[in-house]
């Protein structure tokens, strides 16, 4: 290493260190003991540094998550104490929100972790039932204004195990840098195996009897992870965990619910009628959820840019399915046609940016359908302009590389639009559909790749033209047309 280079290296290193110290001073550290009995958690906690207590009088918990409400009502029997262990009086403001008379340093409370009535919540919040449960510190521990790291000790029944990607520092003791991202699977009678996928390690936990074998589950996770690692040119975390659980038997065939939090994927499903369908659907679930390890979990982007990480997850997953010969090109076109029908039927037209702000107030379908169609249109525009040399993959890779977890925190919509706007061919798409609320009029875009769209009785159907020209055939090939022949 030459001398000037070495100096630059050291100064970069020193700068990184300063940033590190700065960001640590913004964080809160707590220690907690979580004792699990039946369907309750008894939690005792304290600030690791008692000097941090001076202004903290709010003791509050996550009240809703996605469309799951009333989470605060699960918290009861709250006690707060000062530095010397004297009880601090408090009053309950609303469910999950308490106000202390003065600063507090430690606390205890009970959290009712009975299985949520709405079973789709099983993938998204903490619960305990029978011989297993999921503990998500984001709803189990109190919320403070700053990012909170924690040292957690679990007390479980002796025949229960605990699984997590967080750092294990003792038996049932873990340290986590961000409680919002920490997930723990607890219980017994599940199957667990560590698999190598791309350059990463994935801990796979399988619970319940399935038509799909454990080997097939492992292979599916492995091949998709490796595909994405190559697509994005890197991976955000070192260790990952995937939990595949079964809904209770009374849940109807085909239902599933998933959550990707930090480096954890939690999926609950009911079985399909045939094994081939079950394997197909597992592939689809993992293509979608694994995408979320990169977007949004692997980037330092903030705000409501759901249109991007949901819509583009759907489209990337669909295109990956064609590339991996999991679906036919006709299925690819059918799905896009359906998304177009759904988007056309929306009574209130919204731009993607507006829809993302209102995702849990009726705009969820638009976030997905319109987001997916926009990703497709961007892919076509890039393919057409570059004569097939560039595609959406380059854009996804650029956004990931530019905004990975080491990059400064940036607003998601701004960061993504800045990358898209460097490509002139994307200008109209950005104005009409991402920032604007126009109907998706795609005839001209489709013509470039030799695809025809027909809408009858509010239903859109896409098909490849009877006789595409050479250039159209080339671009169709890039999208995976005739892929099964290779
Ligand atoms: Zn998603």
The alpha carbon of 360 and the centre of ligand 1 are apart by a number of angstroms equal to 14
CA 52–ligand 1 middle distance (angstroms): 37
Looking at the domain assignment, is residue 170 inside a domain?
no
* Residue 350 predicted with pLDDT over 80: yes
How far is the CA of 409 from the CAs of 18, 132, 148, 303, 353, in angstroms? 16, 37, 17, 10, 19
> Of the residues 292, 315, 344, which one is the last residue of a structural domain?
292
Residue 337 CA to residue 460 CA, distance in Å, equals: 5
The Å distance, Cα 416 to ligand 1 centre, comes to 18
Q: Which helix (H) or strand (E) holds 456?
A: strand 451-456
Q: Are 194 and 95 members of one domain? A: no
Q: Compute the average pLDDT of residues 395-418.
A: 97
Ligand 1 centre to CA of 257 (Å) is: 10
Picking from 115, 137, 157, the residue at the C-terminal end of a domain is 157
Highest mean pLDDT, choosing among 10-24, 108-122, 357-371, 416-430: 416-430
Residue 235 lies in a domain: yes
Contact call for residues 414 and 349 (beta carbons, < 8 A): no
Residue 6 covered by a domain? no
Residue 415: alpha-carbon gap to chain centroid: 18
Tell whether 127 is covered by a domain.
Answer: yes
> Are residue 249 and residue 390 in the same domain, yes or no?
no
Q: Which pLDDT belongs to residue 360?
A: 77
Q: Is the pLDDT of residue 463 over 90?
A: yes
Query: Could you read off the pLDDT of 256-280 as tens digits, one per residue?
Result: 999 999 999 999 999 999 999 999 9
Task: Report if residue 454 sits inside a domain.
Answer: yes
Same domain, 131 and 251: no
Q: What CA–CA distances, in Å, run from 390 to 125, 247, 282, 448?
A: 40, 42, 30, 15
Position 15 scores a pLDDT of: 37
Express as a percent the part of the chain with pLDDT over 70.
Answer: 93
| More confident call, 261 vs 118 | 261
If you measure from the C-alpha of residue 185 to the centroid of ligand 1, how many angstroms do you get, rounded to a whole number? 21
CA of 34 to the centre of ligand 1 (A): 30
| Residue 53 pLDDT > 80 | no
Does a structural domain hold residue 162? no
- Is the bond preceding 332 in cis, omega lying within 30 degrees of 0? no
Residue 355 has pLDDT above 50, yes or no: yes
How many whole angstroms from 288 Cα to the centroid of ligand 1?
6
Do residues 333 and 224 share a domain?
no
Span from the CA of 267 to the centroid of ligand 1 (angstroms): 12
**Chain length of the chain:** 486
Residues 302 and 282 in one domain: no
In the reported structure, the alpha carbon of residue 289 is separated from the centroid of ligand 1 by a whole-number distance in angstroms of 6
pLDDT band at residue 116 under the 50/70/90 scheme = confident
Q: How many domains does the chain have?
A: 3
Q: Which of 177, 30, 35, 174 is nearest to 106 (CA)?
A: 30
- What the block records as the tokens of 84 is 């010397």
Give the pLDDT confidence score for residue 24 in this predicted structure: 43
Cα(92) to ligand 1 centroid in Å equals: 35
Instruction: Give the integer Cα–Cα distance in Å for 278 and 270.
Output: 9
Q: How far is the CA of 366 from the centre of ligand 1 (A)?
A: 13
What pLDDT band is residue 243 in, cutting at 50, 70 and 90? Answer: very high
Å from CA of 306 to ligand 1 middle: 9
Nearest to 280 by CA among 259, 257, 254: 254
Least Cα distance to 368 among 390, 347, 330, 338 occurs for: 338
Strand 167-170 to 173-176 pairing? antiparallel
The Å distance, Cα 389 to ligand 1 centre, comes to 28
CA 66 to ligand 1 center in whole angstroms: 12
pLDDT of residue 2 exceeding 60: no
Q: How far is the CA of 316 from the centre of ligand 1 (A)?
A: 11
Tens of pLDDT, residue by residue over 383-394, are 999 999 999 999
Of the listed ranges 5-19, 175-189, 193-207, 256-270, the least confidently predicted one is 5-19
pLDDT of the residue at 21:
36
Q: Taking 50 as the threshold, does the pLDDT of residue 190 lie above it?
A: yes
How much is the pLDDT for 273?
93
436-454: average pLDDT? 94
Q: How confident is the model at residue 485 (pLDDT cuts 50, 70, 90)?
A: low
Which residues does residue 151 pair with via DSSP β-bridges, in sequence order? Answer: 31, 175
pLDDT tens digits along 337-347: 999 999 998 88
**Are 216 and 130 in a shared domain?**
no
CA 295 / ligand 1 centre spacing (Å): 9
In 104-114, which positions are buried (b, 16+ CB within 10 angstroms) versus exposed (e)? bbbbbbbbebe
Give the pTM.
0.91
CA of 50 to the centre of ligand 1 (A): 40
How close is the Cα of 123 to the center of ligand 1, in Å?
13
Distance between Cα 292 and ligand 1 center (Å): 7
* Residues with Cβ–ion distance below 5 A, ligand 1: 310
Q: How many CA within 13 A on the CB side of residue 249?
A: 3
For residue 18, pLDDT over 50 is answered with no
The predicted pLDDT at position 50 comes to: 66
Q: Which domain-ending residue is among 292, 321, 351?
A: 292
| Ligand 1 center to 291 CA (angstroms) | 8
The answer to whether residue 419 sits within a structural domain is yes
Question: How far, in Å, from the CA of 400 to the mean position of ligand 1?
Answer: 17
Distance 18 CA to ligand 1 centre (A): 35
- Do 196 and 118 lie in a common domain? no
> Could you list the residue range(s) of the whole structural domain that residue 237 is in?
190-292
Mean pLDDT, the chain, whole residue set:
91
Question: What's 222's domain CATH number?
Answer: 1.10.390.10
Q: Which of 46-50, 241-245, 441-445 has the highest mean pLDDT?
A: 241-245
pLDDT at 143 over 90: yes
Q: Quick one: pLDDT band at residue 117, thresholds 50, 70, 90?
A: confident
Q: How far is the CA of 365 from the centre of ligand 1 (A)?
A: 12
Q: How far does the centroid of ligand 1 lie from the alpha carbon of residue 284, in Å?
A: 11
List, in order, residues 6 or more apart from 405 with CB less than 8 Å away: 236, 298, 299, 300
The verdict on 356 and 249 lying in the same domain is no
- Is residue 11 predicted with pLDDT exceeding 80? no
**pLDDT average, residue stretch 457-467:** 95
**Residues 223, 136 share a domain:** no
Mean pLDDT throughout 15-32? 57
Same domain membership, residue 369 and residue 329: yes
- Which run of H or E residues covers position 357? helix 352-357
CATH number reported for the structural domain that contains residue 45 in this entry? 2.60.40.3650
What pLDDT is recorded for position 349? 85
Distance of CA 424 from the midpoint of ligand 1 (Å): 29
The lowest-confidence range among 47-51, 117-121, 324-328 is 47-51
* Backbone dihedral region for residue 111 (phi beyond 0: left; psi -120 to 50: alpha; all else: beta): beta
Same domain, 390 and 484: yes
pLDDT at site 9: 35
Residue 421 C-alpha to ligand 1 middle, in angstroms? 25
Indicate whether 164 belongs to any domain: no
What's the 330 CA to ligand 1 centre distance in angstroms?
23
Instruction: Tell me: do 211 and 123 sit in the same domain.
Output: no
Q: 285 C-alpha vs ligand 1 centroid, how far in Å?
A: 9
Q: What pLDDT score does 486 carry?
A: 58
**Averaged pLDDT, 54-74:** 91
End-to-end CA distance of the chain: 47
CA-based torsion, 217, 220, 223, 225: positive or negative? negative
- When mean pLDDT is compared across 28-32, 150-154, 218-222, 297-301, the lowest value belongs to 28-32
Task: Kindly state the tokens that stand for 85.
Answer: 């262990």
CA 17 to ligand 1 centroid distance, Å: 35
């Amino acid at each position: 290493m030459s001398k000037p280079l070495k100096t630059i290296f050291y100064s970069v290193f020193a700068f990184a260190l300063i940033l590190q110290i700065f960001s640590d001073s913004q964080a809160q550290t707590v220690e907690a003991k979580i004792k699990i009995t039946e369907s309750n958690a008894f939690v005792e906690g304290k600030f690791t540094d008692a000097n941090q207590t001076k202004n903290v009088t709010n003791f509050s918990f996550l009240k809703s998550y996605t469309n799951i409400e009333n989470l605060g009502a699960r918290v009861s029997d709250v006690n707060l104490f000062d530095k010397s262990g004297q009880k601090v009086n408090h009053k309950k403001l609303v469910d999950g929100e308490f106000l202390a008379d003065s600063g507090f340093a430690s606390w205890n409370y009970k959290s009712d972790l009975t299985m949520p009535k709405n079973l789709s919540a099983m993938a998204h919040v903490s619960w305990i039932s029978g011989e297993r449960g999921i503990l998500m510190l984001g709803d189990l521990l109190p919320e403070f204004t700053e990012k909170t790291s924690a040292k957690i000790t679990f007390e479980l029944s002796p025949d229960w195990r605990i699984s997590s990607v967080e750092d294990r520092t003792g038996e049932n003791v873990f340290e986590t840098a961000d409680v919002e991202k920490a997930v723990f699977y607890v219980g017994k009678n599940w199957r667990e195996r560590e698999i190598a996928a791309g350059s990463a390690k994935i801990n796979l936990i399988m619970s319940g009897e399935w038509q799909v074998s454990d080997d097939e589950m492992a292979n599916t996770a492995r091949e998709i992870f490796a595909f994405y690692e190559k697509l994005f040119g890197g991976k955000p975390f070192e260790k990952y965990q995937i939990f595949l659980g079964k809904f209770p038997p009374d849940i109807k065939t085909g239902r599933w619910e998933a959550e990707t939090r930090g480096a954890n994927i939690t999926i609950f499903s009911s079985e399909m009628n045939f094994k081939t369908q079950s394997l197909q659907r597992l592939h689809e679930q993992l293509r979608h959820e694994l995408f979320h390890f990169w977007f949004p979990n692997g980037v330092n982007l903030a705000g409501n840019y759901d249109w991007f990480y949901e819509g583009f997850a759907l489209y990337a997953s669909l295109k990956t399915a064609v590339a991996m010969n999991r679906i036919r090109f006709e299925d690819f076109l059918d799905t896009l046609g359906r998304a177009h029908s759904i988007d056309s039927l929306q009574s209130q037209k919204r731009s993607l940016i507006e829809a993302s702000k209102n995702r849990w107030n009726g705009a969820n379908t638009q976030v997905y359908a319109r987001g997916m169609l926009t990703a497709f249109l961007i892919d076509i525009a890039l393919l057409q302009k570059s004569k097939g040399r560039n595609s959406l993959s380059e854009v996804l890779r650029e956004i990931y590389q530019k905004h990975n977890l080491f990059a400064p925190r940036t607003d998601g919509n701004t960061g993504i639009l800045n990358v898209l706007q460097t490509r002139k061919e994307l200008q109209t798409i950005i104005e009409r559909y991402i920032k604007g609320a126009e109907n998706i009029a795609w005839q001209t875009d489709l013509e470039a790749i030799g695809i025809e769209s027909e809408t009858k009785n509010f239903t859109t159907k896409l098909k490849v033209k009877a006789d595409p020209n050479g250039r159209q055939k080339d671009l169709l090939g890039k999208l995976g047309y005739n892929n099964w022949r290779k």
